Structure 1
């Protein structure tokens, strides 16, 4: 079993990731939370937590960790401090801790933030974080979903290095894709976009690696 740190564990998608990891025969989740009050929801299910604030020093959070999923976000409030610089701090910590893989939850449009209108600052932050990870020499997977919905997941997606049209995808299927991307035989040093689709998640990921 590999220990997987989930940055952003308290978020809507983060909680789904932690649940999937907790059900996995391959991974053990370590939920990174920012507030003491967020620990109980995980600890009642015997899930280990670690305190970490992306605006502070987080080097301690990667102790005894094998891989990381970065699913943290500021909800548009502190895009530079959290979505960009917080992600960079996690990349630095992962490098220092010699982690085996870094899976980044990014966003469609992060390639061209200048064209994004209202989301420009957010996508610029995601873009900068993605570039920093690519340049880190860590083994990585950068997953860029379309607009997130709370619909029930289907276990099927559409995936490509670049998808021509934007669209939606359920948080369930995004979480599944991120967890699948952790595996050693899944994507290596790849960036890909995902939307709802007709291909089983494992097969869709294999097609982009």
Structure 2
């Protein structure tokens, strides 16, 4: 499988490239400062900016690399303005959806965030009081980021892509251990686990159409993903 990663310079995307196994990874970045590091990880860099490239430009890259799947791991990053966050996290995602359509790439995985939802609706029924408190804190601190991710996810539902959305919790640098997958409480997630979860859902086509919270836990990742695929567990609340 050849996977093209948008936002290839990010930490989760780097883990994804390192864990590629026998697969091929093209890591799309906006400049060449990451090239040497990405090549050491086994990825092939490609320079294109989501802010300036057109959907046609992105589609041309997907065709050139003969992409079998796309991973959207891009984000404006901490300290970005609201305008740039919208441009990268929402508009950039929509541009990639269109590029996939133009290039005929159906399989699509997105790294989003836990608690991405319509805040005008009640909190998810399964949330504990601790998760409700953490939700309020997160939206107070990074609300513009979560809103951009929500709009990107909502737009994804209107595409014909075979998508799976991975929603990690508070990102941590510890090595990946066990996992919990499904519709979960707001907890922590190893960045390495996020990358492993992306590969796992690509290996399990039955996850297409699902949005999955992924948190550190005690379970086996592959079995957790398979259970969600079989039961059609979906963390999307609309």
TM-score with structure 2 setting the length: 0.80
Match of 2:49?
A: 53
- Structure 1 residue 103 displacement after superposition: 0.2
**Counterpart of 2:202 in 1: which secondary structure?**
coil
1:1-209 aligned within 5 A: 2-21=1-20, 24-25=21-22, 27-44=23-40, 47-57=43-53, 58-63=58-63, 64-76=66-78, 77=80, 78-113=84-119, 116-154=139-177, 156-160=178-182, 162-163=183-184, 165-209=185-229
| CA distance, structure 2, for counterparts of residue 28 and residue 186 of structure 1 | 22
**Counterpart of 2:207 in 1: which secondary structure?**
coil
- Structure 1 residue 113 displacement after superposition: 4.8
| CA distance, structure 1, for counterparts of residue 102 and residue 217 of structure 2 | 37
State the structure with more CA Rg.
Answer: 2
| CA distance, structure 1, for counterparts of residue 42 and residue 220 of structure 2 | 30
Contact 2:18 2:41 survives alignment (8 Å): no
**Cα distance change, pair 113–149 in 1 and its aligned pair in 2 (3 A):** farther
**Cα distance change, pair 108–46 in 1 and its aligned pair in 2 (3 A):** closer
Match of 2:131?
A: none
Comparing 39-48 and 105-114, the one that deviates more: 39-48
Structure 2: gaps of 5 or more residues: 121-135, 230-238
**Cα distance change, pair 35–206 in 1 and its aligned pair in 2 (3 A):** same
- Structure 1 residue 144 displacement after superposition: 0.7
**Cα distance change, pair 65–151 in 1 and its aligned pair in 2 (3 A):** same
Contact 1:55 1:86 survives alignment (8 Å): yes
- Structure 1 residue 45 displacement after superposition: 5.4
**Cα distance change, pair 206–44 in 1 and its aligned pair in 2 (3 A):** closer
| CA distance, structure 1, for counterparts of residue 145 and residue 181 of structure 2 | 22
**Counterpart of 1:182 in 2: which secondary structure?**
helix
TM-score with structure 1 setting the length: 0.90
- Structure 1 residue 37 displacement after superposition: 2.4
Q: What RMSD, in angstroms, separates the aligned Cα atoms of the two structures?
A: 1.6
Contact 1:88 1:133 survives alignment (8 Å): yes
- Structure 1 residue 159 displacement after superposition: 1.0
| CA distance, structure 1, for counterparts of residue 151 and residue 227 of structure 2 | 26
Structure 1: gaps of 5 or more residues: none
For this pair of structures, how many residues does the alignment match? 202
- Structure 1 residue 61 displacement after superposition: 2.5
Contact 2:32 2:47 survives alignment (8 Å): yes
